[in-house]
Structure 1
Amino acid sequence: MPSLWSGSTRTAAGAALSAIAAFSLVAGVAGTAQAVSTAGDNAAKLTPKRVGSAPRIPAGAVRTGSAAADTTLHLAVNLKPRDPAALSAFVAQVSDPKSANYHRYLATGQFASTFGPTKSTVDSVTKALRAAGLKPGALSKDGLSIPVTASVATASHALGTGFATVKLTDGTESYLNTSAPALPSGAAAEVSGITGLNNLSVMKSHHTKPVLAGKAAGTGVGSRALSAHASGPTPSCSAATSMLKDRGLVDTRDYYSPPALAAAYGLPHTTTAGAGSTVAVFELEDVFESAISDWKSCLGISSAWSTVTVDGGHTVTAVPGPDATVGNEAALDIEDVMALAPGASVIDYEGPDADLATEQNVLDIYQKMVDDNKAQVLSISWGVCDLDADPAQLAAENTIFAQAAAQGQTVVSASGDAGSTDCSGDGSSNGANLSVDDPASQPYVTGVGGTWMNGSGSTLKQATWNYGSSLGGAGGGGVSNVWNSGNGPLLYQTGFTGSGYSNTCAAASGQVCRQVPDVSALADPSVGYVVTIGDGYWGTIGGTSAAAPTWAAMIALAATTADCKANGRVGQLNPIVYNAARSSYGTSFTDITTGNNDWTPSGYRGGKYASTSGYDMATGLGTPKYAGLVGQLCGTKASSAGGSFFPITPVRVFDTRAAYHVGSYTTPIPANTTYTATVTGNAAGDNVPSTGVTAVALSVTAINPSTSSYVSVSGNGIGHGAATLTFVKGQIVPNAVVVPVKNGKVDFYNRFGTVDVAAVITGYYSSTGTGGSGFTPIPAAHMLDTRSGVGEPGGTAAKLGAGSTVTIKATDTPGIPAGVTALALNVTAINGTIGSYLGIYPSNAGQAAATSVSFSAKQILANTVIVPVDSDGNITISNHAGIVDATADVTGYYSAATGASFNALAPTHLVDTRGGTGGFKALGAGKTMAVPVTGIGGVPGNATAVVLNVTVVGPTATGYVSIFPHGPIPAATTGIDFSAKQTISNMVVVSVTAGQVDFYNRFGTTNVAADVLGYYAP
């Protein structure tokens, strides 16, 4: 398998990667609510801070001087995602068949607006680069990279680093930065690394040299005559058969033909297998085009293939022959996919030649493959030892592969051909150290190891590939030195620990570290793959470079099955294969239990790592049994996290305050901590069933936070995402949320400081229960306003005193028919004289002790509630203490006879005027913005209404924002009421018109952020 680079070294990788910080609404909250911007703060933001680390001089290299000042550098300033935690949670959900978001992938081009850095972040970093004397280029499509071209002299001055030249052991002259680059600390905090500061990359190929390459008499493919026993496309032209026959080579003993390999793994094998799917291959070399033509002609297939050049593509042309050093890898990758999935299309993404390609070229190819999003499967047969890799490169790759997973692209990569010591032969000081290969060890990538195989059918034998002779090599595997459960989504490997698991990552962090490979396939060249390298030359070849496209072809075949056509792309493969191992190991995999991958150029050593029963770090889970595995590759979508709504009398199900506690906790939620609450069965007073509940409607209140922060509410164990409540120190802030339920529980996550949280359940959704209600949205209408007398007896304005109530009849409001079961209300408490709460409940239920809107003295606070009506269609609003004004706007109703069912989604950023999400700026007085909602975060085109979590940040004046169906501005109804400088969130249920909803600001100027939580559809 080719090596991306050797000689560049990893230093402080853990520190560099763990520096990735999460975006949240808090940044805007703290800045606006406190309105503090001191000279000291500004000075701190401008203080230089190093980003990442400098590369070490490779072993044996000699420093020869300073780099020429006029040397041109092509750099990339790589930015962190806006919200890494939300991105990780989203990928987990789209990969989980039990999630309502299963296979609701991002569309092409959607990643930047959903998870890319905010516009303010990009502007801030761009400004810092210009101030340093650099000329940043246009932001990349994914929003994560700012290109910069500069001379060594300019970069040295701007980034505070020197540049030296070194001569490597092979005589190559290279340059490198002598210290980590520096940026103003404010900008540095948003940057994951700067790539392109050195050209230490010495690209190596780790696939094996073609064995017994021959040339038939004459050239070309000659005549073709398929064998009568062939089960699918096989090389049967004279050029191939004469080479194999003349050397006494026997199928399944000395090589595996395409039909024999397909049969070994149970793959369907016809000339059109895989039709409709696309595989992309990553290459750093030219491919001899006549080789691909010869291959197709000899196999009798018509596979489509094309080339996309990146950063100029190759400069060295492939020349065929038994001693060819260019073109073998590309030929192997393309021919392997064509042989096993002849109907699939293949796209060759070709970058600069391996010995010239920089780490930035590598990133550019990965990014192009993902941004194009034309292929369901990406196959990579090149890599670098993780101990020698640049941490900035690894961090940037990780985000690119997370984007691929979010879009439903499967990424497979060869695990390396140097066994448990992946740096062997790279010329670095890490050659003898235990190490694994990147990108196979990336958390979002499936690492494919190598096996030996012989025989067929009942005589088929398999073992770990470890040759240790002139055909030297062994399947790569071991424990990552970089990725652990603290900085990578590795839950899929829970419970799978290979024998010999131990390394500095685990010892230093106390975390679970990434293990590779995940799976394996044939790699041993002694029983290798048949290939043509052009001009009549044929031979056999091996290496994990062949194993990776074998798995890619298998995924391409699965993509054409009925399950995948119905449920969407396979997507991230790792969660699937590990779940398959948990549920049906014997029918999904062949367990490899013979051999080990302990290898150095001199041969075997002591047995690291041994192939054992179950998972091991020599062959992973083993080789595929397609018939048993294919049913799990696309699976069946989980029933929607929603369905019909069942309103209940409000019940407090969670409260962390010691004096009022409900649940297991009696202390505030600490920073970066999750508390869990049971919301079904007895925990909800038997009002909510123990089974069948897909989502619940909660009114959640944050109480007396110690600092500015946010609380995220999500289904149990699926990871926290967007903020549900955003607040500053000392506030009491309520908000409603409709949240998917998992394991009968929901999670409450606090980002900073400490905060008490209380939650009241007002109803639940079920796709299995009977007697539930559908939802019908209506234009927002005033039901109550104590300031003007709307909804009050006699129409007389009167505040709500302590213990006082007001009763409202639902059908008195135009648009609300008889027979409704519940209402969606936006309720606002205005200028209470003391801290108190409003209760909203069906009139026949008695005054509620559960809080629907909690507030402090003189606050203006809004909350959306879903409240049942009594048999006469009445609801009651009560005030607990003091005196307060209240308003209530109805946005829709629930009815057993009519309405749409609810579908919960993972929170997805829709708009944020502070950072440019959606392309909008702060709303001025009397201004409206129309925001598209369908097609975003899984909202379909037939959605009748959406559920939004809306936050107002830093308004310059007391006022309100209305949220309404796209069209004319309605009469004065409010989505969120607020005071000047207040930060406040509220859940809003709003109708969708023309795929959009509108936001209108009445007074002053304010920033608005909104996340979509779910939708209603017929």
Structure 2
Amino acid sequence: MDPATAEASGAEVFSTPADRTVRSTVPSAQNRAASAADGQDLAFRLESWGTSAHRMVAYSTFSGATGPLSVTISWGDGTTDTVTADASEPLFRDHAYAEVGAYTIIVTATDPATNTQAVNKVTVKTMGSDFTPHAPLRLLDTRNGTGQAQGKVPAYGGASLKITGNGSIPDGVTAVVLNLTVTNTTSSGHILAWGTGRDRPDMSSINYAPGETVPNLVIMPVGRDGYVNLDNRGWESVDLIADVTGYFTQTASNGYTSLSPTRFVDTREGQGTAKGQVVGQGSFGVQVAGVGGVPKGATAVSLNVTVTNPREAGHLTVHPSGQAAPTASNLNFTAGQTVANSVIVPVGPDGRITVRNGSWQGTDVVIDVNGFYTPDSKAAYVPSRYGPSRLLDTRKTGTPLAARDYMHLLYAPNVEAHAVNVTVTNTTGVGFLSVAPDPNTPEQYENGTATPPARPVASTLNWIAGKTAANLVQTTPGDKGMVAFWNQGWQDADLLIDYYGHYAAN
């Protein structure tokens, strides 16, 4: 791949022109009368781009020399490569950094025919970003003027939300974890979250109907100006709420490790807490660090939280232990509703999180853990190069997700987890969606030898007849990169998959 191809694929290309080359006489040849470095024209353009979360390319194109060159590449992390290069051909080398971050690559080319040494350098940033937890903080509430002037977001209008500078969120953020909530709706529509400086994607972040309050978690690219866009794609105005629980930067912090969905809490069974509904305005603690595959020292956990059997409308808040419940909410529910939402929440210093029922009546709560963040985890987050994008819409293919069946998607090897938004619509009965690793390969599906994976039991989202439901999932692929999307209901339904990005350790 050359720089033009890399740029066309959406990669950020860092470059330094050939006229920035610094030439000198080779130190061992300084006293030779034949050396005349000032008269030589050896120079080279140096370009670099990321090919994965931790891996960068150094691409050099030479001029002013014709023979073999001795080239040393200092990668900026204490490691070097020394190779022999043909001056008439571009030199392509790649390197994997142990940690994400900014590095200065210095390339030194020596022409033995003229005793000339040429040096050029370029400063780069890895594609991958690490996660920093943030105590739940409300950045936007159009009902009371938090984050922007008070007042609903108009039909087919939008809110521009400043991310950097709020709370402890620094400049240079690449992506942010937001829990978005739409409320006070009077018609159907959807909310679209997307990074500034990009084309508006053809997808949705939240779908809503009249009178609904609907939350959903997003991992959203942040524009270079520190903002994200929140668009109301409906025919009537709505109120929007946005709560932050973490952000990603190209600075070494916390990587991600995925888990097969593991049930930590089920109040119906007394698992992880006392048996019985969480009382109105009540709360309970959950030990997560050091339990069920989550190590001690975990700074945050990725959860799927489900409310079921609520006696009246309310909301649920998940927050780190040891602090008062914030005004932020993670999911909203009505009486009798079963609803799920993804949650990424910091872990308290004692390794626990707290769950609070904001309703005045009791409800059951189910919590599945699907991953965690620690300084020792190596997988960094790589946002989609083109911003969030739609991978699948069965309404357009004409083949819905069949009842009690699955479809496979997202072939990508060497990935720790994918971050996708899944939406189920055109439902005619009650059901739930499960997302799980698929051990098959693409070739097995092509030649008809694939074996259906074991049916999972954990739910990603729940629906009832006539409703559209969406949820973020950080899903672990199988060994060959495949993911299975299961319709656990008894009627067909349409499935939409919007891609945010992935975590990778290489």
With normalisation by structure 2, the TM-score equals 0.70
Q: Name which of 842, 864, 867 aligns with 2:345.
A: 867
Letter in structure 1 aligned against 2:335: A
1:194-238 deviation per Cα after TM superposition (whole angstroms, max 9, x unaligned) = xxxxxxxxxxxxxxxxxxxxxxxxxxxxxxxxxxxxxxxxxxxxx
In the superposition, relative to structure 1, how do residues 563 and 855 fare at CA in structure 2: closer, same or farther (>3 Å)? farther
CA contact (8 A) 1:853 1:862 kept: yes
Q: Which residue of 1 aligns with 2:195?
A: 715
Q: Name which of 304, 313, 317 aligns with 1:839.
A: 317
Letter in structure 1 aligned against 2:259: I
- Structure 1 residue 943 and structure 2 residue 415: aligned? yes
With normalisation by structure 1, the TM-score equals 0.36
CA contact (8 A) 1:781 1:813 kept: no
Q: Which residue of 2 aligns with 1:726?
A: 207
Q: How far, CA to CA, are the matches of 1:756 and 1:563 in structure 2?
A: 54
In the superposition, relative to structure 1, how do residues 886 and 678 fare at CA in structure 2: closer, same or farther (>3 Å)? same
Q: Which residue of 2 aligns with 1:680?
A: 164
Q: Which residue of 2 aligns with 1:702?
A: 182
1:875 CA displacement: 0.7
In the superposition, relative to structure 1, how do residues 756 and 976 fare at CA in structure 2: closer, same or farther (>3 Å)? same
Equivalent residues in 2 for 1:236-385 (5 A)? none
1:972 CA displacement: 1.7
Equivalent residues in 2 for 1:11-30 (5 A)? none
Q: Which residue of 1 aligns with 2:388?
A: 907
Q: Which residue of 2 aligns with 1:1000?
A: 486
Q: How far, CA to CA, are the matches of 1:1002 and 1:878 in structure 2?
A: 29
Specify which structure has the higher proportion of strand: 2
Q: How far, CA to CA, are the matches of 1:984 and 1:942 in structure 2?
A: 30
In the superposition, relative to structure 1, how do residues 717 and 665 fare at CA in structure 2: closer, same or farther (>3 Å)? farther
1:101 CA displacement: 4.1
Q: How far, CA to CA, are the matches of 2:468 and 2:231 in structure 1?
A: 19
Q: Which residue of 1 aligns with 2:470?
A: 985
Q: Name which of 459, 468, 490 aligns with 1:974.
A: 459
Instruction: State the aligned residue count.
Output: 381
1:923-970 deviation per Cα after TM superposition (whole angstroms, max 9, x unaligned) = 233211111342xxxxxx322210000001132222211111114335
1:897-927 deviation per Cα after TM superposition (whole angstroms, max 9, x unaligned) = 12300011212222222221xxx82223321
Larger Rg: 1
1:869 CA displacement: 0.8
Q: Which residue of 2 aligns with 1:965?
A: 437
Letter in structure 2 aligned against 1:800: V
In the superposition, relative to structure 1, how do residues 564 and 666 fare at CA in structure 2: closer, same or farther (>3 Å)? farther
CA contact (8 A) 2:394 2:400 kept: yes
Q: How far, CA to CA, are the matches of 1:561 and 1:668 in structure 2?
A: 59
In the superposition, relative to structure 1, how do residues 95 and 949 fare at CA in structure 2: closer, same or farther (>3 Å)? farther
CA contact (8 A) 1:828 1:861 kept: yes
1:96 CA displacement: 12
- Structure 1 residue 747 and structure 2 residue 229: aligned? yes
In the superposition, relative to structure 1, how do residues 669 and 892 fare at CA in structure 2: closer, same or farther (>3 Å)? same
Equivalent residues in 2 for 1:483-562 (5 A)? none
CA contact (8 A) 1:842 1:869 kept: yes
Structure 1 gaps, min length 5: 1-93, 105-559, 567-634, 935-940
Q: How far, CA to CA, are the matches of 2:233 and 2:182 in structure 1?
A: 12
Equivalent residues in 2 for 1:426-441 (5 A)? none
Q: Which residue of 2 aligns with 1:656?
A: 142
Q: How far, CA to CA, are the matches of 1:561 and 1:878 in structure 2?
A: 63
Report the secondary structure of 1:903's partner residue: strand
Letter in structure 2 aligned against 1:899: K
Q: Which residue of 1 aligns with 2:428?
A: 956
Q: How far, CA to CA, are the matches of 2:138 and 2:416 in structure 1?
A: 30
In the superposition, relative to structure 1, how do residues 736 and 977 fare at CA in structure 2: closer, same or farther (>3 Å)? same
Letter in structure 1 aligned against 2:482: Q
- Structure 1 residue 1017 and structure 2 residue 504: aligned? yes
In the superposition, relative to structure 1, how do residues 843 and 561 fare at CA in structure 2: closer, same or farther (>3 Å)? farther
CA contact (8 A) 2:289 2:297 kept: no
In the superposition, relative to structure 1, how do residues 671 and 884 fare at CA in structure 2: closer, same or farther (>3 Å)? same
Specify which structure has the higher proportion of helix: 1
CA contact (8 A) 2:178 2:217 kept: yes
Q: Which residue of 2 aligns with 1:528?
A: none
CA contact (8 A) 2:152 2:240 kept: yes
1:174-197 deviation per Cα after TM superposition (whole angstroms, max 9, x unaligned) = xxxxxxxxxxxxxxxxxxxxxxxx
CA contact (8 A) 2:423 2:470 kept: yes
- Structure 1 residue 757 and structure 2 residue 240: aligned? yes
What percentage of aligned pairs have identical amino acids? 31
1:637 CA displacement: 8.1
Letter in structure 1 aligned against 2:212: Q
Letter in structure 2 aligned against 1:827: V
1:712-753 deviation per Cα after TM superposition (whole angstroms, max 9, x unaligned) = 111123232121111222211111010111111111011122
Q: Name which of 336, 344, 365 aligns with 1:858.
A: 336
Letter in structure 2 aligned against 1:758: I
Letter in structure 2 aligned against 1:951: T
Letter in structure 1 aligned against 2:373: Y
Q: Which residue of 1 aligns with 2:48?
A: none
Q: Which residue of 2 aligns with 1:668?
A: 152
In the superposition, relative to structure 1, how do residues 712 and 565 fare at CA in structure 2: closer, same or farther (>3 Å)? farther
Q: How far, CA to CA, are the matches of 1:674 and 1:755 in structure 2?
A: 10
Q: How far, CA to CA, are the matches of 1:801 and 1:561 in structure 2?
A: 71
1:382-433 deviation per Cα after TM superposition (whole angstroms, max 9, x unaligned) = xxxxxxxxxxxxxxxxxxxxxxxxxxxxxxxxxxxxxxxxxxxxxxxxxxxx
Q: How far, CA to CA, are the matches of 1:910 and 1:636 in structure 2?
A: 34
Report the secondary structure of 1:915's partner residue: helix
Q: Name which of 371, 374, 383 aligns with 1:892.
A: 371
Structure 2 gaps, min length 5: 14-87, 95-121, 440-452
CA contact (8 A) 2:137 2:328 kept: yes
Letter in structure 2 aligned against 1:784: V
Q: Which residue of 2 aligns with 1:646?
A: 132
In the superposition, relative to structure 1, how do residues 929 and 637 fare at CA in structure 2: closer, same or farther (>3 Å)? farther
CA contact (8 A) 1:100 1:904 kept: no
Q: How far, CA to CA, are the matches of 1:921 and 1:785 in structure 2?
A: 35
1:845 CA displacement: 2.0
CA contact (8 A) 1:734 1:862 kept: no
CA contact (8 A) 1:102 1:637 kept: no
Instruction: Tell me which of the two structures has the higher relative contact order, counting C-alpha pairs closer than 8 angstroms and 6 or more residues apart.
Output: 2
In the superposition, relative to structure 1, how do residues 563 and 820 fare at CA in structure 2: closer, same or farther (>3 Å)? same
Give the root-mean-square deviation of aligned CA atoms: 2.8
Letter in structure 2 aligned against 1:1004: W
In the superposition, relative to structure 1, how do residues 562 and 871 fare at CA in structure 2: closer, same or farther (>3 Å)? farther
Report the secondary structure of 1:792's partner residue: coil
In the superposition, relative to structure 1, how do residues 970 and 845 fare at CA in structure 2: closer, same or farther (>3 Å)? farther
In the superposition, relative to structure 1, how do residues 563 and 986 fare at CA in structure 2: closer, same or farther (>3 Å)? farther
Equivalent residues in 2 for 1:168-183 (5 A)? none
Q: How far, CA to CA, are the matches of 1:702 and 1:747 in structure 2?
A: 14
In the superposition, relative to structure 1, how do residues 561 and 714 fare at CA in structure 2: closer, same or farther (>3 Å)? farther
CA contact (8 A) 1:869 1:875 kept: yes
1:57-77 deviation per Cα after TM superposition (whole angstroms, max 9, x unaligned) = xxxxxxxxxxxxxxxxxxxxx
In the superposition, relative to structure 1, how do residues 636 and 673 fare at CA in structure 2: closer, same or farther (>3 Å)? farther
Q: Which residue of 2 aligns with 1:823?
A: 301
Letter in structure 2 aligned against 1:910: L
Report the secondary structure of 1:803's partner residue: coil
1:562 CA displacement: 5.6
Report the secondary structure of 2:354's partner residue: strand
